[in-house]
Structure 1
Amino acid sequence: MLSEKSAATVRATLPAVGAAIGEIAELFYEKLFAAHPALLRDLFNRGNQNAGLQKQALAGSVAAFATHLLAHPDTRPDVMLNRIAHKHASLGVTREQYPVVRLHLFEAIAEVLGDAVTPEVAEAWDEVYWLMANALIAIEERLYAEQRVTAGDVWREWTVAARVEETADCTTFRLSPADGAPAPSFRPGQYVSVQVELPDGARQIRQYSLSGAPGSPVRSITVKRVHGPAAGGPDGEVSNHLHARVRTGDALRVSAPYGDLVLRDSAAPVLLASAGIGCTPMLSMLEHLAETGHAAPVTVLHADRTPADHPLRSDHRALTHKLPDASARFWYEADAEAGDATGLVDLESVPVAPGTQAYLCGPLPFMRSVRTQLIAKGVPASDIHYEVFGPDLWLASA
C-alpha cells in the first residue's frame, strides 16, 4: 500500500512522469548498459532493445503499476506482477539486480525532469519502485523454490533428440535432459527459456512454449523463424540461430518451466483460440485435455496466413478428434481448404457453451478481437485468459 503522503505526490506528478517516461526509459537503458554491458549481451533481448520495444515495456509497466496504486490503494495488480515475475524467473533474475536497476532509473528520472524532482518527489517514486520491486522479488523467490533452482542459475543442459521441419519457417525441437534424469513437470501452457551462444559470444535468451503434454518424457518446443525488420519487428537472432545451426544430438541450455497462463483443472467447457505460432501453448492444453478425457465441450479456433504456414496443423486436428465433444475451426488469409474459412476470425456462428473458460494466444490485435467477440457472446471477462508474448507483459492485465 502506498503511503498517503507519497500517494498525493505521485498523483500530482504522474502526468509529468507519464509524459516523459519514454525518454526516461531510453536514458535508463543507456546508463544501465554503459555500466553493465553484460546485461545487454547475456540477459536482455538485443532485438527488442534495438527496436525500442523494451523501453516501451518498462514505461508501460511502471505507469500501469503507479496508476493501479492510486486507483486501488488496497490491492496490487497481481496479474501484471505474476506475469512479469514468471518471465523474470525464466531468465534467472536475482534480488541483487533490483538496486542496480533502481540506481540507473532514478538517475534517468532526475536528468530528464531536472528541478521538478524534489526530495519529496524522489521519495514518493522510490516508494512506488520498491513496492513493485519487493512484490516481484517475493514472487520470483517462491517460483525458484517451487522449481528447486537457485536464483541466477535456472539452467540445465538438454539434448536435441529430434528435429522436425513443420513449415517453411517453423521447426520443432524435441528435447531430453542430457543427464538422463526425469524432466521437470510443467503445466499446460507454460514455456521455457532457451539460451544460445551466438557467433559474437553473446548468450541471448528467448522463451518458447512447451507444445506437448506434461506427461511426456520428451519436451517439445516449436520455433518460428523471425525474419527481422522485413517482418516489421526486431531481428530474430535466436530463432535464426536455432534454425540454421542446431541439429539432432546438439546440446541446449534450457530453463525450468514458467508461465502463469495455464490450463485450469476443471470440468468446464474450454475454448482455445490462437494465431500463428501462438498455437503451441494451446496444443499443450489440447493434448492434456485429450489425455485426461475431458468430457465438456472443447472449441478450437486458429488463424494463420495459409494452411501451409499453420504449424502443427495435423496435430491441431488429430487432438481435437480425440475428444468426445470438440470441434476445430480454422481461418486463413489465403488458400483456405474445404471446411476452413477465409479472412479474420469471426465468432458469429461459433457456439460458446455457458461457463466456458477461454484461453487466447497470438498477436495482440488478434487477442483483442477475439476477446471482444467473446464478451459480446456473454463470456465474462474474468473467464478469458490470454498471454502477451514479447516485452509488453504488462498488457496482460489490461
Structure 2
Amino acid sequence: MLSEKSRPLISATLPLVGSRMGAITPNFYSRMFAAHPELLDGLFSRANQGNGEQQKALAGSIAGFATALIANPDVIPEQMLSRIAHKHTSLGITEDQYQIVYKYLFEAIAEELADVITAEIAEAWTEVYWLMADALLKIERGLYALQANDKIWMPWTIVEKIPAGTDCITFVLEPADDTPVTVARPGQFVSVKVPVSDGLLQCRQYSLSAAVDSTTHRIFTTKRDDGGEVSPVLHNAINVGDVIELSNPYGDVTFDDGDGPVVFATAGIGCTPSASALRSLVDNGGDREVLVLHAEKNLEAWALREQMTSDVDAIDGAQLQLWLEEPADGFHKGFMTLEGLDIPADASMYVCGPLPFMKAIRNQAINAGIPSTKIHYEVFGPDLWLAGAN
C-alpha cells in the first residue's frame, strides 16, 4: 500500500511527472541500453524503441499505476498489471532486471526533473516504483509456476508454412525436444525469437490461431510487415524443417468457458485470437449463441477465411457478418459498425484489431448496452490503450 507520507507528494507531483514522462522515458532507455546493450538481444524490441511506442507504454503504465494508488492507496491494482506481467513472462523477464530498470529510470528522472526534485519526492516515487515492481514480480512468479516446464525458451520445428490470405502465413510447429508442453487457452500468444539481418535476436508475440489445447503442435498466423524486422524473416528466411525458439503460452485475454452469448469483433490480422476461440467452440461442443463480426480490405486479404467460415458453419446458430472496404456482393460495404445489429445485452465481447478500430467498436458496444466489464480487447505490441495514450 502507498504510505501516508508518500501519498500527498505523489498526488502533488503526478501532473508534473506525467507531463515530463515524454522526455524521461527516452532518456531512461538511452541510458539503460548504453550500459546494457545485451538487453536488446532477445528481449527489448528495437522496432518499438524506434517508433516510440515502448516509451509511451512505460510512461503511461507508471502514471496510471500512481493514479490508481492515489485513488485507492490500500489496494494494489493487480488486474491493471496483469497484461504487463503476461508480456514480461513471455520474454523471460527476471527479478534482477527490475533493479537495472530502477537505476536508469531514476537517473533519468533526476536529470529531467532537476529543477524541482527533492529527496522526499524521489523517495516517494521510489516507493511507487517498487510497489509496482513487487506486484508485477508476484504475478509473474505465479505465471511461471503454472507452466509445464521451467524454461523460458524451447525449440520448435516448423513442419508447415501455409499461405493464409494476402501477405499472411500460418506456421505449424512441432516440439524439437522432449520439454513438457504447456496446454494453452484460446486467445493466448507465444513469443517467437529469431535472428534478424544483423544477427541480433528479436522477439515478437503472435496469437495462437488454432490447436491451443494441443501438446504436439503450436499454430500461429502472421502478417508480413515489409518495414519490420521479424515478420519478413519468418516469411522469407525461415523454412520448413528449421528450428526456432518459442516461449510458453501467455496472455490474460482468454476466451471464457461460460454459456452466455459471445460476440467476436475483429479487423485484419486481429482475427487470430478469435479464430482459436471459434475452433475451441467447435472442438468442445456446446450451444452458445455466437456472432462473428469481421472487417477486411477484401475477401482475399482475410488470413483465416476458410478456417473461420467453416467453424461458423459447424456451430449451430452461429452467425457471420463481414465488412469489406472493397465491396463484394453479399457483404457489408466499408467499415464495421454495430448499428442495426441485434447484439444480446448479456453477451461477452472480444475485440481485436487496430487500436482506433477497437476504441470505436468498444464505444459502440457500450452504447448498445454491453457492460464495459464484458468487453475484452487484445492489443498487438505495447498496450498504448492501457497506458492511456490517445
TM-score, L = length of structure 2: 0.96
Could you list the per-position Cα deviations for residues 322-360 of structure 1 after superposition, in whole angstroms to 9, with x for gaps in the alignment?
1011101111111x3222111111112221124211111
CA distance in 2, matches of 1:25, 1:313: 41
Q: Secondary structure at the match of 1:222?
A: strand
Aligned to 2:316: 324
Contact kept? 1:189, 1:210, Cα under 8 Å = yes
Specify every segment of 5 or more residues in structure 2 that has no aligned partner in the other structure, as ranges: none
Aligned to 1:380: 371
C-alpha displacement at 1:369, in angstroms? 1.1
Q: CA RMSD in A?
A: 1.5
C-alpha displacement at 1:182, in angstroms? 6.0
C-alpha displacement at 1:73, in angstroms? 2.2
C-alpha displacement at 1:215, in angstroms? 3.4
Work out whether 1:365 is the aligned partner of 2:363: no
Q: Which amino acid aligns with 1:63?
A: A
CA distance in 2, matches of 1:119, 1:112: 15
Aligned to 1:114: 114
Could you list the per-position Cα deviations for residues 256-293 of structure 1 after superposition, in whole angstroms to 9, with x for gaps in the alignment?
00000001111111111111111000000011111122
Q: Secondary structure at the match of 1:5?
A: coil
Contact kept? 1:176, 1:183, Cα under 8 Å = no
Work out whether 1:47 is the aligned partner of 2:47: yes
Aligned to 1:159: 157
CA distance in 2, matches of 1:124, 1:149: 38
Work out whether 1:193 is the aligned partner of 2:191: yes
Contact kept? 1:79, 1:396, Cα under 8 Å = no
CA distance in 1, matches of 2:178, 2:3: 52
Q: Secondary structure at the match of 2:209?
A: coil
CA distance in 2, matches of 1:206, 1:9: 38
Could you list the per-position Cα deviations for residues 89-138 of structure 1 after superposition, in whole angstroms to 9, with x for gaps in the alignment?
00000011001100000000000110421110010000000000000001
Q: Secondary structure at the match of 2:33?
A: helix
Greater fraction helix: 1
Could you list the per-position Cα deviations for residues 164-222 of structure 1 after superposition, in whole angstroms to 9, with x for gaps in the alignment?
01123101110110125664200000000000012322110000000003334322110
Q: Which amino acid aligns with 2:293?
A: L
How has the CA–CA distance of structure 1 residues 136 and 118 changed in structure 2, closer, same or farther, with 3 Å as cutoff?
A: same
CA distance in 2, matches of 1:104, 1:304: 43
Aligned to 1:283: 275
C-alpha displacement at 1:394, in angstroms? 6.0
Runs of 4+ in 1 over 6 A off after TM superposition: none
Q: Secondary structure at the match of 2:286?
A: coil
CA distance in 1, matches of 2:65, 2:2: 11
C-alpha displacement at 1:42, in angstroms? 2.4
CA distance in 2, matches of 1:180, 1:166: 30
How has the CA–CA distance of structure 1 residues 319 and 396 changed in structure 2, closer, same or farther, with 3 Å as cutoff?
A: farther
Contact kept? 1:297, 1:353, Cα under 8 Å = no
- Select between 178-187 and 252-261 the one with higher mean Cα deviation: 178-187
CA distance in 2, matches of 1:55, 1:340: 40
- How many percent of aligned residue pairs carry the same amino acid? 50
Equivalent positions of 1:84-99 (< 5 A) are 84-99=84-99
Equivalent positions of 1:273-352 (< 5 A) are 273-334=265-326, 336-352=327-343
CA distance in 2, matches of 1:345, 1:125: 43
- Select between 101-110 and 139-148 the one with higher mean Cα deviation: 139-148
CA distance in 1, matches of 2:75, 2:334: 41
Work out whether 1:259 is the aligned partner of 2:251: yes
- Select between 24-33 and 162-171 the one with higher mean Cα deviation: 162-171
C-alpha displacement at 1:371, in angstroms? 0.9
- Select between 65-74 and 324-333 the one with higher mean Cα deviation: 65-74
C-alpha displacement at 1:397, in angstroms? 8.2
Equivalent positions of 1:196-215 (< 5 A) are 196-215=194-213
How has the CA–CA distance of structure 1 residues 394 and 90 changed in structure 2, closer, same or farther, with 3 Å as cutoff?
A: farther
CA distance in 1, matches of 2:177, 2:18: 49
CA distance in 2, matches of 1:198, 1:226: 14
How has the CA–CA distance of structure 1 residues 253 and 88 changed in structure 2, closer, same or farther, with 3 Å as cutoff?
A: same
Could you list the per-position Cα deviations for residues 41-77 of structure 1 after superposition, in whole angstroms to 9, with x for gaps in the alignment?
3211101111111111111111111111112223333
Q: Secondary structure at the match of 1:302?
A: strand
TM-score, L = length of structure 1: 0.94
Aligned to 1:227: 226
Q: Which amino acid aligns with 1:342?
A: K
